[in-house]
Structure 1
Amino acid sequence: MQTDFLVIGSGIAGLTFALKMSEAHPDKKIMVITKAASDETNTKYAQGGVAGVWDEANDSFEKHIEDTLIAGDGLCNREIVEIVVKEGPERIRELIGYGAEFDKTENGEYALGREGGHSEHRILHHKDVTGREMERAMLAKVQAAGNIEMVNHCYVVDLITQHHLGFLVTKATHDITCYGVYVLNLRTNKIDKILARITLLATGGCGQAYRTTTNPRIATGDGVGMVYRAKGRIENMEFIQFHPTALYKPGESPSFLITEAVRGDGGILRNKKGEAFMERYDHRKDLAPRDIVARAIDSEMKLAGTEHVYLDCRHMDKDKFIHHFPNIYEKCLSIGIDPMEQMIPVAPAAHYSCGGIKTDEWGRTSIQHLYACGECASTGLHGANRLASNSLLEAMVFGHRCFADSAARIDGIPFQTGIPDWNAKGTTDPKEMILITQSLKELQQLMSDYVGIVRNDVRLQRAMKRLDLLHTETEELYETTKVSPQLCELRNLITIGYLIVKAAQFRRESRGLHFNTDHPAKSDQLQNIVL
């Protein structure tokens, strides 16, 4: 198969790119590949909203920029922050033009929320299912486009580069080029090759590397894993954001997210004794940035020997709460908790990767003809900690920027010839799936125990030793058995674990989302960790 533009991932980042390319270049062929259903993306699970300067009488670009820089704890690229903040409102207006609906007040103005780290009300939202509404609007437009082919239930195994033509490719190779991908068709169980002139990775996050995560099961770090194997550059993987308030319900995966907007509307965190504890950790109390709130909750849980704290919403207006957070209200009722009568048990859960595939200001990666945007990319916006509701904004801004840059380059890029078919010679069907499923459990357990909210050098060293063994065992399995999505996802998640640990070992300080008790103070290490 051949396509001019190949988009891997159908979240808001990939769909923004595909739709803009379709409208600007109706003569070009665009293919969007997803390993599940079209709407099963990280975007779909985003609750809180999308940040943007909307109320210019009280807000400004400068305030949003400053809030982002403060949250990023010294590692944001200011140029990128300014680009995203200033271009963001136009991207939101385009989304509204596509049919996305955001909540409004009685007088018809957009109802702007406020979340941790924001100095003003600037969060546009659709109740507590904002991502689902944005995904719905974009998919409707994309599916109506005549030159976009949606290919569901296809798992991308690897990027095709010079390596597959027999050339030696290393990190020092300056002209690594992407020619397309090998994909496992889950319906035929055969591996096909798809050649593309330009490929965009919009593969989402990697929360499934941890035992407890708000991410859907598809969030297995596939894009980052593929780029690292292809000798591309990966950046800042030590900064894994744990959302402070996931609903505490043992055994449920993924964890149900209690959006930060609940605290923005007045929800108060309390410990086992019923004390409002956040004032002891930060002057912003419950609206401090996520890294601070997550560490505070972790500290309170360890002090009390509990597995959760509480989010108190009992004092909030019931009608307003149900109107703004109907999904959360229904979920709590389904497990026997009335938020207006009882406090909600919450605990931190792996939520967002602030690092990823290193890109420039146009979404270009270190591999030629390969772009990346959305959570799988490290653009320089988030630094050491993402500001709440900046993720959907970044996805749209960089989806647009990847489109603008690649559209100007496409005519000078030919299809590569001579790409070999996938070679499965000598492999057999796996005899026992437990070899894969148990390794995944081990990975998630060690990442949660050793590489969580609080880390130290000994834990990181232990994690690396165990990762080495998992890597060896899994590569032996990969070499001898036929490819399956489960095996590929395990490989990618082991790679993700390795990159997180290795980057954490290189950072000899505590900054943002990376807190190491052996290096508790910030240093002058104002640099990104590139692997």
Structure 2
Amino acid sequence: MRSPVIIVGGGLAGLFCALKLAPTQVTVLAAAPIGHGASSAWAQGGIAAAMGEGDSPEQHAADTVAAGAGLVDEAVVLGMARDAADRVHDLLDLGVPFDRTLEGKLIQSREAAHSARRIVRVRGDMAGKAIMQALVAAVRRTPSITVCEGEVAEALIVREGRVAGVVARGQAGRAKETRAFLAGAVVLATGGVGHLYAVTTNPPQANGNGLAIAAEAGALVADAEFVQFHPTAIDIGRDPAPLATEALRGEGATLVNRAGERFMAALHPDAELAPRDIVARGVFAEIQAGRGAFLDCRAAIGAEFPERFPTVAAACRGAGIDPVTDLIPVAPAEHYHMGGIWTDERGATSLPGLWAIGEVASTGVHGANRLASNSLLEAVVFADRVAADLRALAPVAPSAEFAPPPAGFEPHPDADGEAIAALRRLMSDKVGVVRDAAGLAEALAGIVALERAALTPALRNMARSALLIAASAYARRESRGGHMRADHPAPDPALARRSRLTLGEARWLAEGALAGRPLSPGPST
């Protein structure tokens, strides 16, 4: 199959880019039905945009820089903040029903580490679902967009140094069939790495696949060590774990232990509204100490909870918890990857012919710790930029067909089920909220062994993404943002720079860790 542009991923970034590219012919490859397998659809917070009185893009950028712990690209984030209002209006034009006052003004709320109320929402906690519903409807009625659902990308096709397509394996009814999708340009919008971890708030399709295939093709990866753990996943044993949105704390909910004692006030001046990495470590510490952690919404929200936060209320009720009268048990869960495929300020990667947008990309706007509700904003801002650049480039579909690289093995898709579960446990235990050199070396050894023994492309690619994260975490011998090293608990001013590495360099770091080879002073630049 041939197309001028192939977009891999059916979430917000991918679909928004496809719509912005119209009338250019685009093929969207999605591992699941569009709108159902994307983390975007699960987003409860909203989109950050400085659109209220007394607020400004400059202040939004300043808050983002502060949350990013010294690693945010300030010029890139200011540009994103200035584009925010236009992208919100694009979504309004597509039919997204953002909450409004009776006078028709957008209602904006506040989340942790924001200095103003600038989050636009839909019915409190349903922004992601509503946005995706509007985008899916628009995509379905756009004749220039061809959607191929149930197609999992397994590798990039590179010809003469340029990305020229994707090898994908069909799922529903075609478990062993691989096909070559050839393109003049490829855009990866495959989402994050949540299912590399045993506890995550993300759907199963967020398993690091896009990061792995780009790195295998030679793409540069940035900031892979920075993984954000949401402090308030609802701890009821579900996989994925349902999320108790940060907006609850923004509205006054508190974090308490089993004895009813608030613990965040002693850890940060902003208490429950401290940056996510600090809150996650506070919750983690209470759980490790055996005191448990709970979200108390009774006084702040009370009887209005089911109406104001229907998604969270439904998850609680399914576990026999009434958030109006009961405490909600919470635990940290992998939520967002600040790292990813390195891109410039326009979404172009280090590989000619390849762009990346959304969570799979590392644009420099999140630094070491993403500011709440900047993820959906980043997705639409960079999707718009990539679409604008591709329209100007006018890529054409390749003229000649050629066979895809041989798959090499075609086992049952569940052949590596136990190994994948072992990888996820290893990542949570050793590359999780708190890390140290010994644990990271153990993780690297286990990841390398799992990759070598992989029977399926799924495990092979998950292990490669895990290797990138663990190797980057091993190399950064300090604590900063979402990266906490128990053996290096303080930030090192000399390491206040973004990390960059290739898959080959990650393998070199893993070999060094196993051999006891001394490290260079810090992350590669």
Question: Which residue identity does 1:151 align to in structure 2?
Answer: C
Question: Which residue identity does 2:307 align to in structure 1?
Answer: H
Match of 1:45 among 34, 42, 66: 42
Q: Which SS does the other structure have where 1:493 is aligned?
A: helix
Partner Cα distance (2:404, 2:374) in 1: 41
After superposition, the CA RMSD in angstroms is 1.6
Q: Which SS does the other structure have where 1:161 is aligned?
A: strand
Match of 2:422 among 423, 431, 442: 442
Shifted more, 70-79 versus 189-198: the winner is 189-198
* 2:294 is the alignment partner of 1:302: no
- Where in structure 2 are the equivalents of 1:509-524 lying within 5 Å? 509-523=478-492, 524=494
* 2:197 is the alignment partner of 1:210: yes
1:493 corresponds to: 462
Conserved in 1, the CA contact under 8 Å of 2:3 and 2:398?
A: no
Match of 2:130 among 130, 133, 149: 133
How much does 1:272 deviate?
Answer: 1.8
Q: 1:321 to 1:302 in 2, by over 3 A?
A: same
- Where in structure 2 are the equivalents of 1:71-150 lying within 5 Å? 71-127=67-123, 128-150=125-147
Partner Cα distance (2:20, 2:141) in 1: 13
How much does 1:58 deviate?
Answer: 2.2
What is the percent sequence identity of the aligned residues? 38
1:263 corresponds to: 249
Shifted more, 398-407 versus 520-529: the winner is 520-529
Q: Which SS does the other structure have where 2:3 is aligned?
A: strand
Match of 1:254 among 233, 240, 252: 240
Q: Which SS does the other structure have where 2:14 is aligned?
A: helix
The answer for unaligned runs of 5 or more in structure 1 is 168-175, 478-486
* 2:309 is the alignment partner of 1:325: yes
Partner Cα distance (1:62, 1:194) in 2: 42
Q: Which SS does the other structure have where 2:336 is aligned?
A: strand
1:374 corresponds to: 358
Q: Which SS does the other structure have where 1:520 is aligned?
A: coil
Match of 1:68 among 56, 64, 71: 64
Conserved in 2, the CA contact under 8 Å of 1:359 and 1:378?
A: yes
Partner Cα distance (1:154, 1:300) in 2: 42
1:502 corresponds to: 471
Q: Which SS does the other structure have where 1:332 is aligned?
A: helix
2:275 corresponds to: 289
Conserved in 2, the CA contact under 8 Å of 1:191 and 1:422?
A: no
Conserved in 1, the CA contact under 8 Å of 2:182 and 2:397?
A: no
- Where in structure 2 are the equivalents of 1:335-350 lying within 5 Å? 335-350=319-334
Match of 2:371 among 387, 409, 414: 387
Q: Which SS does the other structure have where 1:397 is aligned?
A: helix
1:460 corresponds to: 440
Q: 1:75 to 1:429 in 2, by over 3 A?
A: closer
Conserved in 1, the CA contact under 8 Å of 2:76 and 2:364?
A: yes
Conserved in 1, the CA contact under 8 Å of 2:346 and 2:385?
A: yes
Question: Which residue identity does 1:259 align to in structure 2?
Answer: T
Q: Which SS does the other structure have where 1:515 is aligned?
A: coil
Question: Which residue identity does 2:285 align to in structure 1?
Answer: S
Conserved in 2, the CA contact under 8 Å of 1:356 and 1:376?
A: yes
Question: Which residue identity does 1:530 align to in structure 2?
Answer: R
2:18 corresponds to: 18
How much does 1:410 deviate?
Answer: 2.3
Partner Cα distance (2:220, 2:332) in 1: 29
Match of 2:165 among 176, 180, 185: 180
Q: Which SS does the other structure have where 1:468 is aligned?
A: helix
How much does 1:49 deviate?
Answer: 0.8
2:514 corresponds to: none
1:170 corresponds to: none
Q: Which SS does the other structure have where 1:405 is aligned?
A: helix
2:506 corresponds to: none
Question: Which residue identity does 1:463 align to in structure 2?
Answer: A
Q: What TM-score, normalized by structure 2, do the two folds share?
A: 0.92
Shifted more, 345-354 versus 138-147: the winner is 138-147
1:480 corresponds to: none
Partner Cα distance (1:237, 1:507) in 2: 10
Partner Cα distance (1:340, 1:319) in 2: 5
Q: Which SS does the other structure have where 1:142 is aligned?
A: helix
How much does 1:424 deviate?
Answer: 4.7
1:239 corresponds to: 226
Deviations 1:85-118, CA, capped at 9 Å, x for gaps: 0001100111001100011234432221111111
Q: Which SS does the other structure have where 2:108 is aligned?
A: coil
Q: Which SS does the other structure have where 2:385 is aligned?
A: helix
Question: Which residue identity does 1:179 align to in structure 2?
Answer: A
Partner Cα distance (2:457, 2:476) in 1: 29
Partner Cα distance (1:414, 1:301) in 2: 54
Conserved in 1, the CA contact under 8 Å of 2:305 and 2:323?
A: no
Q: How many residues were matched structurally?
A: 496
1:420 corresponds to: 403
Q: 1:398 to 1:428 in 2, by over 3 A?
A: closer
Question: Which residue identity does 1:446 align to in structure 2?
Answer: L
Partner Cα distance (2:14, 2:265) in 1: 40
Q: Which SS does the other structure have where 1:492 is aligned?
A: helix
Question: Which residue identity does 2:16 align to in structure 1?
Answer: T
2:7 corresponds to: 7
Q: Which SS does the other structure have where 2:20 is aligned?
A: helix
Question: Which residue identity does 1:457 align to in structure 2?
Answer: A
Partner Cα distance (2:240, 2:410) in 1: 32
Q: Which SS does the other structure have where 1:242 is aligned?
A: strand
Q: 1:449 to 1:405 in 2, by over 3 A?
A: same
How much does 1:526 deviate?
Answer: 1.6
Shifted more, 402-411 versus 508-517: the winner is 402-411
Match of 2:180 among 183, 193, 198: 193
* 2:208 is the alignment partner of 1:221: yes
Deviations 1:429-468, CA, capped at 9 Å, x for gaps: 45x94x5011111101111111111111111111111111
Match of 1:525 among 470, 495, 513: 495
Partner Cα distance (1:449, 1:442) in 2: 10
Q: What TM-score, normalized by structure 1, do the two folds share?
A: 0.91
Q: Which SS does the other structure have where 1:346 is aligned?
A: strand
Partner Cα distance (2:404, 2:327) in 1: 57
The answer for unaligned runs of 5 or more in structure 2 is 502-525
Conserved in 2, the CA contact under 8 Å of 1:235 and 1:358?
A: yes
Conserved in 2, the CA contact under 8 Å of 1:195 and 1:416?
A: no
How much does 1:416 deviate?
Answer: 6.3
1:481 corresponds to: none
Conserved in 2, the CA contact under 8 Å of 1:506 and 1:529?
A: no
Deviations 1:230-278, CA, capped at 9 Å, x for gaps: 011111111010000000112x100001100000011100012111111
